[in-house]
Structure 1
Amino acid sequence: MKAIVLEGLNQPLTIKDIDKPVPQPGEVLVQLKAASLNRRDWWITQGKYAGISYPSVIGSDGAGMVVEAGSDAGSGWIGKEVVIYPAHGWGESTEHQSKDFNIIGLPPNQGTFAEYISVPVTDLQPKPLHLSFEQTATLPVAGLTIFRALFTKGQVKKGNKVLITGVGGGTGAFALQYAVAAGCQVFVTSGSAKKIERARQLGALAGVNYKAQDWAEQLQQLSGGGFDVIIDSALGKGFEKLIDICKPGGRIVFFGGTAGSIPELAGRKIFWNHISILGTTLGSPAEFEQMLQFISDHKIEPVIDEVFPLAEAEKAIRKMDDSSQFGKLVLKIS
């Protein structure tokens, strides 16, 4: 079968012929129709992700059709259109993943940038009926990460004022769509006026360029007093200003640190205003199922920036070098 292989540090992604996986008992073989890229994939190609080894078939997001089962347990899925939960070993706790947790797309797990993948039957969910394979393939990592951040950790409710920092990427676009669908008043930041305008078209009430010296003050004024929930993936020195624009009793949820770590914070502001600072990552299989139901109920259509053929995976990931995309980048496989 054809697959995209990362041979080593700073090496280009190349398409190669490798052995098609054979499903073991309790597994099924999925003929992948589409996969999508995540910032995680970009970090892997830069050698800046834990557990990297080579060669690797990367990719964590995939949607396709079940074509073979390794045992009777999966035979009922044959011919079904599916989306794949992107990890193994979440564990029993709803609060956090287990020590055995790992996301597919690094050895020993083959990733989704390939024509076929073998996965446990328990990692399958039906593809939402209103979405194409390309749209569905955007959901697993970014969609699930944001679903947990907003609803499990952030506890957003209808009418809440929500701030999404860095709205341009896949996670930011999902956060905007989910919060709007939940009936929230949504505000955004971006370093691009074009991306802020696109966010407004998707339902954001207003946006501010985070390169402005007074971006936090602008948001405080626009929101009329601050935010109930703030979703952040950057951290860095600007994080301290989020404390100032978070309402008493509010929640700041973060799932990344692209701008650095958490700076020194004014602790008295945090405890006096009962502000919660919450870390999160990905989500459980149960939350994955809940997310898909939410997307189906609200007929949410993921934002896709561009679709590339599988053979152009290197071109697709290079587009992430300058973060110029709005929404997700997708590989069409068959």
Structure 2
Amino acid sequence: MKAVVHEGKAGFEGLEYTEFLEIQPKVGEVVVKLKTAGLNHRDLFVLNRHQPTDPPLIIGSDGAGVIASVGEGVTTVNVGDEVIINPGLGWKENSDAPPPGFEIVGLPFHGTFAEAVVLPAENVEPKPEYLTWEEAGVLSLAALTAYRALFTRGKVKPGMKVLIPGIGSGVATFLLQFAKAVGTTVYVTSRSEEKCKKALELGADKAIDSNDDWNEALGGEKMDLVIECVGAATFNKSLDQLRPGGTLVTFGASAGDDVQINIRSFFYGQFNLLGSTMGSTEEYKEMLQFIQEHQIKPVVDQMYPLSQFDQGFDRLKAAAQLGKIGFYIG
């Protein structure tokens, strides 16, 4: 089968669209013939974590397709079923943190940038019928990350004021749609005028330039909840927007991970600072139910043939996207 494989060289130089031996399912596993797959920032990080001396690895965490075969003991799905992939491995029930052994599809196990992928049967769910293949293929990792950060960790409630810095990412666009669906007031930031305009079209109540003075641009309004994924470039500005007793949830550091804060201001502000990563199978199923109830669709930025994976990576590295980048496969 054709696949995007990382092998022999560090970073992007080690990626190649090539032939790879198709893997057969073991007990409790299924083979999904993929229609589409989604690109995430995690795929960039994997290129540095997977070493040139490691065995060849098919990367990619998101995807959707059709069950091609099932291993012994699988009774939950059948050949021909249309499914969407939950990329979290080994985290079943919602808990304070992932259990030992939690992994994500695409490292250390083979991922979705291929014509087929082998997964535990428990990691596929019926594809929501209202989603296209393009939308289903880019949904899971970003939507699950957004769901846990906003609901499980952030305890979002109707009427809250929510700030989402860096609206261009896939997770951020889900955060915006999810937060509006539950009746919050949502503010976003971006350096891009085009992304600010698109965010307003998606329902944001206000979109401001990330380079502006946020206090001034927001008219002095303070937030109940900030969901932060940018990192060092915006972290202290995000903290400064919290009301006394407000909560900041962070799950990313695309713009740097070394942050200094004024601890005195932090404890006098009675702030809550929470980390979040991906989510459990329980939360994944809740997320799928939530998006179907509210008919929420991913914002799809660009789709490329898998053979043109380099174009998708270039767009992601340049932060040119608004929403999700994906690949056509089958």
TM range, smaller chain:
over 0.9
Deviation at 1:248, TM superposition (A): 2.2
CA distance in 2, matches of 1:59, 1:81: 19
More deviation, 259-268/1-10: 259-268
Number of equivalent positions: 327
CA distance in 2, matches of 1:234, 1:54: 32
Find out whether 1:333 has 2:326 as its counterpart. Answer: no
Residues 191, 100 of structure 1: alpha-carbon distance in 2 compared, 3 angstrom cutoff: same
How do 1:1-334 residues align onto structure 2 when only pairs under 5 Å count? 1-7=1-7, 8-9=9-10, 10-11=12-13, 13-45=15-47, 47=48, 49=49, 53-74=54-75, 76-90=77-91, 94-107=95-108, 109-212=109-212, 214-219=213-218, 221=219, 225-236=221-232, 238-261=234-257, 263-334=259-330
Q: Is the contact made by 2:94 and 2:281 (CA closer than 8 Å) also made in structure 1?
A: no
Q: Is the contact made by 2:76 and 2:121 (CA closer than 8 Å) also made in structure 1?
A: no
Deviation at 1:72, TM superposition (A): 3.6
CA distance in 2, matches of 1:116, 1:248: 50
CA distance in 1, matches of 2:33, 2:134: 14
The amino acid that maps onto 1:242 is S
Deviation at 1:6, TM superposition (A): 1.9
Percentage of identical aligned residues: 39
Deviation at 1:321, TM superposition (A): 2.0
Unaligned runs of at least 5 residues, structure 2: none
CA distance in 2, matches of 1:283, 1:40: 15
Q: Is the contact made by 1:27 and 1:74 (CA closer than 8 Å) also made in structure 2?
A: no
CA distance in 2, matches of 1:239, 1:217: 17
Residues 316, 241 of structure 1: alpha-carbon distance in 2 compared, 3 angstrom cutoff: closer
Residues 54, 317 of structure 1: alpha-carbon distance in 2 compared, 3 angstrom cutoff: farther
CA RMSD of aligned residues (A): 1.8
CA distance in 1, matches of 2:78, 2:158: 37
Please give the secondary structure, in 1, of the residue aligned with 2:57.
Answer: coil
The amino acid that maps onto 1:258 is S
CA distance in 1, matches of 2:99, 2:92: 5
Please give the secondary structure, in 2, of the residue aligned with 1:234.
Answer: coil
Deviation at 1:43, TM superposition (A): 2.5
CA distance in 2, matches of 1:231, 1:187: 11
Where has structure 1 moved over 6 Å in runs of 4 or more?
none
Residues 165, 152 of structure 1: alpha-carbon distance in 2 compared, 3 angstrom cutoff: same
Residues 83, 183 of structure 1: alpha-carbon distance in 2 compared, 3 angstrom cutoff: same
More deviation, 64-73/262-271: 262-271
Please give the secondary structure, in 2, of the residue aligned with 1:259.
Answer: coil
Deviation at 1:90, TM superposition (A): 2.1
Unaligned runs of at least 5 residues, structure 1: none
